[in-house]
A = this chain, B = another copy of it.
Amino acid sequence: MSKGVISKDEDYSQWFNDLIIKSDMAEYSPVRGCMIIKPYGYSIWEKIQAQLDKMFKETGHQNAYFPLLIPKSFFSKEASHVEGFAKECAVVTHYRLKNDGNGNIVVDEEAKLEEELIIRPTSETIIWNTYRGWIQSYRDLPILVNQWANVMRWEMRTRLFLRTSEFLWQEGHTAHATAEEAVAETEQMLDVYAEFAENWMALPVVKGRKTANERFAGALDTYCIEALMQDGKALQAGTSHFLGQNFAKAFDVKFTTRDNKQDFVWATSWGVSTRLIGALIMAHSDDAGLVLPPKLAPIQVVIVPIYKHPEELDAISEYVKGLTKELRSKDVTVKFDNRDTHRPGAKFAEYELKGVPLRVAIGSRDMQNGTVELARRDTKTKETVQQDGLAAHITALLEEIQTNIYTKASTFRAENTTEVDTYEEFKRMLDEQPGFISAHWDGTSETEQKIKDETKATIRCIPLNNKQEEGKCILTGNPSTQRVLFARAY
């Protein structure tokens, strides 16, 4: 256990919170439920952004920016949408403060807005109101737009990264001429998210569709990627929605089809948020601190000199200069920590806490022997290796670490995914070995709700390409044609 971080077996929630605070990723702000993302945490978000943005552009999307504030009347136009978000939105009512004459700054009641404005919890309404002006004909379609933005949902229970009142995210909003094209887009973006989660976050995910109960407010179909955390709870890491013509109808967005008819436009939206950083931490880290996959680590390699006399440091620094240059030319992010205010042991602990994948230690004896000591964060193993060919060895190791972290998470998920056939077994598993539970369900919202009320487990998704098999619902015994994935979730 690292200093100040509780063991995850003792208190998983506290462990998660401690890790974030101690590793300098983020902290709570004085504004209820909002967080301050500190440079170390933000640099992970920058890496996530850079890669996703690249993938969005490769699939033909462009970025744009829509207003933060949404008039209440727009917000109310799509009935199920407003139903879903009304309970948790921040409302702007005035546009001026004033000095009350006694030196107090107060809201100026004379500057009351005619119509209240909502801070966007998501932007479908303002965007579809805009698309009405952009779309006349099938020639204007598809529109493939994404926005990187902050959004606000007044959550009652908040947790750093996982659920905060304000969070950063991207929201794609696309418009299409046919339902088929919109569904294909929805599925394509789910694939992009899954590829990102698996190849960059080293996080295995299940791709699936949500049940009606768990759908996005205003969607006909919600696709999701679901990941398993180390405490056996599921985490929804990204969603992609097929919105049908709901928003086009609410905002009167019609187009002339190829055969010269009028039709409403088909829509999708899809998003991931700073929640991904929460998933990253929860999935891989241990009691000693963060474990970051090299592809998203702000620092991939840290070099720590071990010395007593300044002259020794000079020789080491000279060598490190060459090594650093070589590593940087291979796009490896390196930090040489030559601070004389901290002892090597303190530095080791710091970078362990911060999840730096690879540590290189070099002392005078190493310099004589032409060696260095390499320590891996993921396996906590050390080895002494030759300086000759070190840069190539390091890049290979970073790839190995990326793979190993993924494999470990994959194995964990496999060990914690169980098929059950009775409700007794279902409840017992949830208590004794929580994880994904694959079980038959009769397809009704009532059954789903009852299971949720009794066990706190929800249907995370109906996996795509699910095997069809005859079975009986664990609760009602009614016939079922496929298993669905249950879990308690974040």
Contacts and interface: CB of A to CB of B under 8 A. Distances in A.
A18 B75 CA distance: 30
A67 interface: yes
A141 interface: no
A36 B63 contact: no
Interface residues of A, number: 62
Contact of A30 (B65, B74, B145, B341): B74
B105 A75 contact: yes
Contacts of A65: 36-37, 42, 45, 168
A127 B133 CA distance: 39
Given A46-B63, A64-B36, A75-B105, A129 B92 contact: no
A42 B30 CA distance: 32
Stoichiometry (number of copies):
2
A91 B106 CA distance: 10
A320 interface: no
Interface in A69-90: 69-72, 74-76, 82, 86-90
Interface stretch (A94-102, A445-453, A470-478): A94-102
A62 B42 contact: yes
A94 B91 contact: yes
A95 B31 contact: no
Contact of A86 (B43, B96, B117, B150): B96
Contact of A68 (B62, B130, B139, B166): B166
Contacts of A105: 72, 75-76, 82, 86
Interface of A: 27, 29-31, 34-39, 42-43, 45-46, 62-72, 74-76, 82, 86-99, 105, 107, 116-119, 126, 129-130, 133, 139, 145, 149-150, 152, 154, 166, 168, 341
Closest 10 interchain pairs by CB? Answer: A39-B62, A34-B67, A86-B97, A37-B65, A76-B105, A91-B94, A95-B154, A93-B93, A29-B67, A31-B67
